Structure 1
Amino acid sequence: MSTSSPDRPAVDPAEANAQAWALAGAWGTGDRMTEVEALMWRSERHPRRSATISVLMMLDTAPDWDRLRAAHDWVTRLVPRTRKRVLEPAVPVGPPAWVTDPAFDLDYHLRRVSLPGPGGMAQVLAFAQAAAMTPFDRTRPLWEGTLIEGLPDGRAAYFLKLHHSLTDGPGGVRLVSLIQSRHREHTHDKPVAPPRPSEPRPDPRWLAVEEVTEQVLTLPSAAGRLLAAGARVLAHPESAAASALRFAGSLRRTTAPWSVPGSPLFRGRTGKAWRFGVLECPLADLRAAAEAAGGSLNDAFAAALLGGMRRYHERHGAELAEMSMTMPVSLHKSDDPMGGHEWAGATFAAPVGLADPEERIATLRGIGLTLRVEPALDGLSVVVPVLNRVPSAVRAAVGRLPTAADLSASTFPGAPGETYLAGAKVERAYPFGPLPGAAVMAAMVSQAGTCGLGLTIDGSVVSDPQVLVECVREGLKEVLALAPDVAGA
């Protein structure tokens, strides 16, 4: 029997259960990593090639610890992969397996700390960047959550970090939404995950045998596709050659614009010293600014970042016309299951030298529309299976190759309305991505009408991260000024 308050209608437990499972979808039900997950797992070289993504939530009060713990226990039962660890086959002929951790300990993954006074934002960020730089225990499930107490006026924060092989950014946002609630009061009728049959503990030797068996079984169909492709090439050699050249050109344009010389300030980066910075702005204002310039929200975000990069370089006596920049292009569909890695990375020459923010947005809009129709946009899916099957020394060598992009950026939508974490209101959310060889990684997520920007900065080449954050703040301000309401204020 469910109860309700006057402003909160009763919820049918069966309907709520169906909605929760629809959100979780098929994520976590597969017993093997995908090719992209496997590459992130096997090629990680912490911290320069870290695969840690995280989010910092600022709360109006300290949440109830028992409720917070119960919420995490519920989510880990709803989404099985949060209780699974990675098991490598004895011979790495295929992807690793996700196996239930028989020694899963919620109290290891969910922690609480209290900062010494005054416990301001600088101390919170210092804790968060140190926690993000700490490698995961690769023998346990790949997530850790920490409640941070000791902030002024009884406030608190919550920091969640996830391994990128566990989920991508949008999947991480959806996972966080399961921990949160739309109401401050306790939810008494949350759906209960059905009992799952116990899983046998797999033997790494059998994982290799299974993979080899699967590959042998698929050889006939693969050989058939290869023969059919060969026949088409022989029948139309000129067309096949032209297609190959178009794909090669597209792959070059979407992966590594080597013609861009790169920032002289960001050379020699090591990724061994992460520094976090945060910014925020009204979502409506940033969207209005984008529309005023004929661009998208992503275009306005990128234009603000580039405006900040231009200012930072000018302060250090360096001028750049272009900067190599990477942004993922989401391939997610509305009916995709939770989690997954439905995206394609695109690296391009970004117009950092354009002083006019409206012109920057228009230029970025054109670049984005062009990239979306590139044949090789999802070229990663062709390369990843090969990299997963080469020796680890080769993958490590690939990981040491210079990264084309000086700047990496990513955006994803968050909660449209107010959310609560075990009774505490989530006032701000700031996402932080890893440094995939870049000097600066910028991520943005919306929370109840406010955009939270998280900057991960490579301190090995940026000795004054606060100056860089301030420059990006000025770049954001000039973009927001394009919005009619802001400009007239």
Structure 2
Amino acid sequence: MLVPMSPTDSVFLFAESRDQPMHVGGLQVFHPADGMERDDVLDTFQQMLSSNETSPMFGKRVRRSIRTGWLWAWEEDERFDIEHHVRHNALPRPGRVLDLFALCSRLHGSLLDRHRPLWETHLIEGLHDGRFAVYTKVHHSLTDGVSAIRLMQSSLSDDPEFRGGVPPWRAGVESMSPRRSEVVAPASRGPVELSSDTLRTALRTAGEAAALPLVLARSVNRGLHAQSGPLAFTAPKMMFNVPITGARRFAAQSWAIERFQLVAKRSDCSLNDVVLAMCSGALRRYLLSLQMLPQAPLIAMVPVSLRDESTAPTGGNSVGAVMCNLATQLDDPGQRLSAITQSMRNGKQALASMTQLQILAMTALAVSPLGIDPLLRLTGVVRPPFNLIISNVPGPRSELYWNGSRMSGLYPLSIPVDGQALNISCVSHAEQLSFGLTGCRRTVPHLQRLLSHLDDELVALELATA
């Protein structure tokens, strides 16, 4: 049975090309449980392949035909093959973390097969200290970052003695009927109740749509006056905002989350403001070293989840955005933090005056140049809508385990696109905050140096707010 795909999710399929893979990824690093040997890791891999059963989200593939009006839809993969999706890799000696990141860079640069469900998981062994890793990539049409983190959590346990863990693609399978294709229909509803619900929804949607011109006018006015909101018109042309290739380079590092919390407390700002200020300072140092820092401040698109905390992790995308002035023209880290805090507060106030439908519409408008400019060959010629994306996704608050093996690292890999050669993503895990830098291999040189600049900038923020 074909199920229509939402317009928001289908955008990621229409936008995908060889130079622009549209999947998100995650790297989990595990310390083996006490007494666990290499053969036990391989046994874990075999257990992952032991069943073709998946939850509905991981068993569906994309389809487009005359029956769907050439629009994208979902259908169950009747010939699902778990061995295509779950793979085994080993690092070359000496098994450095840099070797792990290099492997993830290559895996992240390859396209997912559209004839199959759009995800892969790679079990990676061979780290010099005995740890093993799991790299997973999922197409953005299937899920956003918040949903991906929740799905990952559902497969882990906070009990180090628990040995009944299942991989994310099988989470919830035990409570399902034997066939993946069977879907439990909702309870029938009376015609009067259905009609009134439908009418209320239609009237509400029509009212929100009718207000869109006013919302657009306000957003454009804010953008023209360099005020934060869903639109920006002041992002300078710079080295990241050019056409890219499909090859990727990935670098990652973690810092104690209490360091961010202390700076935030001293400055009366949010933890995310500190993350943005840290990125701003690191980018300033990096661009100065290349003699490519623009005079105008960089503008970052900061995704904002529109999901309710009670929303089940069923996939799909529900994300808005704030355009943040990174104040990269300022030399003082304390002043940059203050400017970023004010910019984010203004942006959140702008979103607070909109409905979810209006926010989604403004976000679609904000990112539309990323699809239009390449078609007209204007990427790198005209002013970009923003300079890069910086996202921060809340992760698990406690230590988590996979069949007794402790997850010691959790790192996000995101999506560079034409005109946006660098993407910075963060995720929290227990007492750590981890940064994942994903860039075009050709366009962003010496990506690893940004990690040193991030570390230096966190120290600078601590000193500036002491």
Whether TM exceeds 0.5 here: the answer is: yes
Would you say the 8 A contact 2:242–2:420 is kept in 1?
Answer: no
Would you say the 8 A contact 1:114–1:150 is kept in 2?
Answer: yes
Would you say the 8 A contact 2:208–2:358 is kept in 1?
Answer: no
Kindly state the Cα deviation for residue 302 of structure 1 after the two structures are TM-superposed.
Answer: 0.6
- The aligned residue for residue 16 of structure 2 is 44
Kindly state the Cα deviation for residue 275 of structure 1 after the two structures are TM-superposed.
Answer: 1.1
| Aligned counterparts of 2:304 and 2:22: Cα–Cα separation in 1 | 18
Amino acid at match of 1:326: M
The structure-2 alpha-carbon separation of the partners of 1:400 and 1:178, relative to structure 1 and needing over 3 Å to count, comes to: farther
- Which 10-residue stretch deviates more, 421-430 or 275-284? 421-430
Kindly state the Cα deviation for residue 359 of structure 1 after the two structures are TM-superposed.
Answer: 2.2
Residues 161-180 of structure 1, C-alpha deviation per residue, up to 9 Å, x if partnerless? 11111111111111111222
**Is 2:393 the partner of 1:412?**
yes
- The aligned residue for residue 179 of structure 1 is 155
**Is 2:97 the partner of 1:118?**
no
Would you say the 8 A contact 1:31–1:97 is kept in 2?
Answer: yes
**Is 2:13 the partner of 1:34?**
no
- The aligned residue for residue 175 of structure 2 is 193
Out of 424, 434, 438, the position equivalent to 2:405 is 424
Q: Secondary structure in 2 aligned to 1:245?
A: helix
- The aligned residue for residue 186 of structure 2 is none
- The aligned residue for residue 445 of structure 1 is 427
Kindly state the Cα deviation for residue 324 of structure 1 after the two structures are TM-superposed.
Answer: 2.0
The structure-2 alpha-carbon separation of the partners of 1:76 and 1:423, relative to structure 1 and needing over 3 Å to count, comes to: farther
Kindly state the Cα deviation for residue 242 of structure 1 after the two structures are TM-superposed.
Answer: 6.4
Out of 444, 447, 450, the position equivalent to 1:465 is 447
| Aligned counterparts of 2:321 and 2:53: Cα–Cα separation in 1 | 30
The structure-2 alpha-carbon separation of the partners of 1:386 and 1:443, relative to structure 1 and needing over 3 Å to count, comes to: closer
Matches within 5 A, 1:129-144: 129-144=105-120
| Aligned counterparts of 1:244 and 1:256: Cα–Cα separation in 2 | 9
- The aligned residue for residue 214 of structure 1 is none
Q: Secondary structure in 1 aligned to 2:4?
A: coil
| Aligned counterparts of 1:69 and 1:314: Cα–Cα separation in 2 | 49
Kindly state the Cα deviation for residue 311 of structure 1 after the two structures are TM-superposed.
Answer: 0.7
Q: Secondary structure in 2 aligned to 1:153?
A: coil
| Aligned counterparts of 2:441 and 2:427: Cα–Cα separation in 1 | 23
Would you say the 8 A contact 1:119–1:151 is kept in 2?
Answer: yes
Kindly state the Cα deviation for residue 342 of structure 1 after the two structures are TM-superposed.
Answer: 2.0
**Is 2:368 the partner of 1:397?**
no
**Is 2:239 the partner of 1:293?**
no
Kindly state the Cα deviation for residue 352 of structure 1 after the two structures are TM-superposed.
Answer: 1.1
- The aligned residue for residue 191 of structure 2 is none
Matches within 5 A, 1:74-85: 77=54, 79-85=55-61
**Is 2:26 the partner of 1:55?**
yes
Q: Secondary structure in 2 aligned to 1:430?
A: strand
Kindly state the Cα deviation for residue 382 of structure 1 after the two structures are TM-superposed.
Answer: 3.2
Residues 129-155 of structure 1, C-alpha deviation per residue, up to 9 Å, x if partnerless? 100111000111111111111111322
Residues 395-424 of structure 1, C-alpha deviation per residue, up to 9 Å, x if partnerless? 973797564322211111111111112332
- Runs of 5+ consecutive residues of structure 1 not aligned to the other structure: 1-28, 201-217, 234-239, 388-392, 485-489
- The aligned residue for residue 290 of structure 2 is 316
Would you say the 8 A contact 2:389–2:422 is kept in 1?
Answer: yes
- The aligned residue for residue 212 of structure 1 is none
**Is 2:70 the partner of 1:88?**
no
Matches within 5 A, 1:44-443: 44-48=16-20, 50-61=21-32, 64-67=41-44, 70=47, 77=54, 79-90=55-66, 93=69, 95-188=71-164, 192-195=174-177, 199=181, 245-250=217-222, 254-263=229-238, 265-319=239-293, 320-338=295-313, 339-374=315-350, 379=358, 381-382=360-361, 397=375, 403-436=384-417, 437-443=419-425
**Structure exhibiting the larger radius of gyration computed from Cα positions:** 1
**Is 2:457 the partner of 1:475?**
yes
Kindly state the Cα deviation for residue 321 of structure 1 after the two structures are TM-superposed.
Answer: 4.1
Kindly state the Cα deviation for residue 386 of structure 1 after the two structures are TM-superposed.
Answer: 11
| Aligned counterparts of 1:112 and 1:198: Cα–Cα separation in 2 | 25
- The aligned residue for residue 185 of structure 2 is none
| Aligned counterparts of 2:431 and 2:357: Cα–Cα separation in 1 | 32
| Aligned counterparts of 1:65 and 1:385: Cα–Cα separation in 2 | 44
Residues 347-399 of structure 1, C-alpha deviation per residue, up to 9 Å, x if partnerless? 34321122332322222121112112325686563379999xxxxx9797379
Amino acid at match of 1:303: A
- Runs of 5+ consecutive residues of structure 2 not aligned to the other structure: 33-37, 167-171, 183-197
| Aligned counterparts of 1:183 and 1:225: Cα–Cα separation in 2 | 45
- The aligned residue for residue 15 of structure 1 is none
The structure-2 alpha-carbon separation of the partners of 1:89 and 1:251, relative to structure 1 and needing over 3 Å to count, comes to: farther
Q: Secondary structure in 1 aligned to 2:116?
A: coil
Amino acid at match of 2:288: E
Kindly state the Cα deviation for residue 42 of structure 1 after the two structures are TM-superposed.
Answer: 1.7
- Which 10-residue stretch deviates more, 157-166 or 368-377? 368-377
The structure-2 alpha-carbon separation of the partners of 1:276 and 1:315, relative to structure 1 and needing over 3 Å to count, comes to: same
Kindly state the Cα deviation for residue 455 of structure 1 after the two structures are TM-superposed.
Answer: 0.4
The structure-2 alpha-carbon separation of the partners of 1:289 and 1:76, relative to structure 1 and needing over 3 Å to count, comes to: farther
Kindly state the Cα deviation for residue 282 of structure 1 after the two structures are TM-superposed.
Answer: 0.5
The structure-2 alpha-carbon separation of the partners of 1:326 and 1:60, relative to structure 1 and needing over 3 Å to count, comes to: same
The structure-2 alpha-carbon separation of the partners of 1:229 and 1:300, relative to structure 1 and needing over 3 Å to count, comes to: closer
Amino acid at match of 2:235: V
The structure-2 alpha-carbon separation of the partners of 1:39 and 1:398, relative to structure 1 and needing over 3 Å to count, comes to: farther
Amino acid at match of 1:180: L
Amino acid at match of 2:284: R
TM-score (structure 2 length as normaliser)? 0.79
| Aligned counterparts of 1:225 and 1:64: Cα–Cα separation in 2 | 52
- Which 10-residue stretch deviates more, 454-463 or 398-407? 398-407
| Aligned counterparts of 1:82 and 1:180: Cα–Cα separation in 2 | 17
Q: Secondary structure in 2 aligned to 1:465?
A: coil
- Which 10-residue stretch deviates more, 248-257 or 459-468? 248-257
- What is the total number of aligned residue pairs between the two structures? 423
- The aligned residue for residue 207 of structure 1 is none
The structure-2 alpha-carbon separation of the partners of 1:482 and 1:384, relative to structure 1 and needing over 3 Å to count, comes to: closer
| Aligned counterparts of 2:432 and 2:203: Cα–Cα separation in 1 | 53
